[in-house]
Structure 1
Amino acid sequence: MGVLHVKDVSAAYRKNTVLKNVSFDVEEGSLTGIVGPNGAGKSTLIKTLLNLHPRLAGDVTFFNSDFKKEKTRVGYVPQRGSVDWDFPTDALDVVLMGLYGRIGWLKWPMKRHKDKAMEALKKVGMQDYAKRQISQLSGGQQQRVFLARALIQEADLYFMDEPLAGVDAATERAIMDILKQLREAGKTVLVVHHDLQTVADYFDHVLFLNKTVIAHGTTETTFTSDNIAKAYGGAVQFMKEGAANVHSAIH
C-alpha cells in the first residue's frame, strides 16, 4: 500500500535551500530512521510533508491521496525543544489535545475521552502523573506525554522528530518498545534519529538525508559505511556482528 510518496520536494528558509529534490516512498508497517548531519533538513522534511513549512516544489501523497483528506490518519511528535513547556496545563490535558480533531476545539472532552487519555498515559508509564503540570516533568517524562498524545490519535502513519533526544535510558527503551509495537500492529513510523550506533537495532529501514536523499532502503542493505560517509562527509569504521554497528565517531 502506498502509505507515503514523496517526489522532488524542495524547501528553503529565506534564500537558503534546505531540501532539494527529495524523493522516496515508504512501505506500510515499516519503522524508518531518518539520519543525517546537523543542518541536513531532517526536521524541515517532516514539517514540509505535514504542511507546517512551505514547499517550494514537488508532490506528496498520503495513502494515495492529499494530506488534507488523510490528516486524521497521521500523528506527529515534534521536537521537545520546540514546545512551550511553561504553558499552564497538565499531562492529561496535553494528551487530550490529540483528540481535538474528533472532539472539536470548542467542546469539552467527555469521560470516555478522558478514559482514553488515561489509557494512553498508562501505555507510556505516565498514568501517575496525569494531573502534574507539564513544566514540572523531566525531559523524559515530557517526551512520554507527547508520545501518548500521538498514540491517542490511533493514526496509521506517525512522524516523530528526535523522540529519543535527551531522554534517560529507561525512557529510550520504553519509547522504542512502543514504536516497535506500532510497527507490529501494521502502523508506519518515521523517526528523526541522531545516534548512529543504535540505527541497526532500532529500525528496519533507514533514510540518509543531507538536503537530498543520499540513500533509502532496508537497514540491512542500506546502513553501510559508504552511505554514512556520503551523508556525513567523513570516514566511519564498522564492526560487524550480524548487523553493522557504528564503531567510531564520524571524523
Structure 2
Amino acid sequence: MTTDNRLQASDICFSYGGRQVINHVDLDLCPGTLTALVGPNGAGKSTLLHLLQGRLVASGGHVVCGCSVALMPQRAAIDWTFPITVSDMVNLGRNGARRRTGGPSCHDLLERVGMAEMASRRLSQLSGGQQQRVLLARALMQNSGVLLLDEPCSAIDPPTREHLLGVMRQQAESGQTLLVSSHDWGSALDSYDRVVVLDGSVLASGSPADVRAKLSDLTCMMGSHCCE
C-alpha cells in the first residue's frame, strides 16, 4: 500500500432522469480508516460509490485521489450462473485496477476470506455468504489504495458478517482506505471508525459517537426507517 491513500470529494452532484440524486456531497476519507456509508433505500449510496470510483461522471464537483480505487459491487449485480470457478472470479480482479508489484495471490486471498477449499467450485454452487466472500477477495486482488464496498454484508448470517468485517478491519490497519455502504446502523455505530449518513446529501459525518448523538434528529428528518 502507498502511504497516502486519501480520497477527497468536493461538492459532488449527480442527476438522473431529471432528479438530483447526489446533492453537493463533500467527503474526506483518510488512509487506514474504515468508514460506513449509511442511509435508507434510494439515498444514493451506490451512486456515490460509482462516482468516487469513476464509473459515473459527476455533473458538478470533483474527486481527488492519488491512488487506485477499487469497487466491490453488490452481489445482485453479478451473474452467478456464469460458468467459471471461484479462482477464476477472484483473478478477474487483476484487470480491475492498476496492478502493483508484490500484490496478494489468489490462494492467499481465498484463505483470508475462508474460501480456499472452494477455489475450484463453480459460482453457481455458492451460497449467498460465500458469494460475498468471493467478491471481497476479487476486490482485494486489485491491491488498491482505496476500496469501496457496496453492501458487502447484506443478507448474510452473523458469523459471515463478522468475518468480513474482520478482513476489512485488517485492510484498514494495513493502510488501505475503506468506505462501506450499509443499511445496518447498529454495525456502523459499533464496528467502524467513522460514519457518513447520506440521503442525497450528507446529513451527518463523524465518529460513531458523534453520529449516535444526532440519531434522534436524523430520525425526525428521515423518518423511522433511517435506523432500520
Shift of 1:75: 2.0
Identity of aligned residues (%): 36
Shift of 1:235: 8.9
Contact 1:37 1:231 in 2 (8 A): no
State the secondary structure of the residue aligned to 1:32: strand
Cα separation, 1, equivalents of 2:51 and 2:121: 33
| 1:156 equivalent among 140, 145, 151 | 145
Deviations 1:9-36 (A, max 9, x none): 1112221211111112112211100001
Shift of 1:200: 1.9
TM-score by length of 2: 0.89
Shift of 1:124: 0.5
Say yes or no: does 1:232 pair with 2:222. Answer: yes
- Aligned counterpart, 2:74: 79
State the secondary structure of the residue aligned to 2:11: strand
TM-score by length of 1: 0.81
Report 1:1-251 matches (<5 A).
3-63=6-66, 70=67, 73-100=68-95, 101=97, 116-224=105-213, 225-226=215-216, 228-229=218-219, 232-234=222-224
CA 1:169–1:2 in 2, change beyond 3 Å: closer, same or farther? Answer: closer
Contact 1:99 1:153 in 2 (8 A): yes
Shift of 1:226: 3.6
Shift of 1:102: 5.8
Q: What is the identity, as a one-letter code, of the residue corresponding to 2:26?
A: S
Q: What is the identity, as a one-letter code, of the residue corresponding to 1:204?
A: D
Q: What is the identity, as a one-letter code, of the residue corresponding to 1:45?
A: L
Q: Bigger CA drift: 151-160 or 224-233?
A: 224-233
Cα separation, 1, equivalents of 2:57 and 2:176: 27
Deviations 1:61-86 (A, max 9, x none): 113xxxxxx3xx32211000111111
Cα separation, 2, equivalents of 1:118 and 1:231: 47
Aligned residues: 221
CA 1:161–1:155 in 2, change beyond 3 Å: closer, same or farther? Answer: same
Shift of 1:171: 1.0
Q: What is the identity, as a one-letter code, of the residue corresponding to 2:13?
A: S
The alignment's C-alpha RMSD in Å is 2.2
Cα separation, 1, equivalents of 2:148 and 2:198: 16
Q: Which stretches in structure 1 are left out of the alignment for 5+ residues?
A: 64-69, 104-111, 237-248
Highest CA radius of gyration, 1 or 2? 1
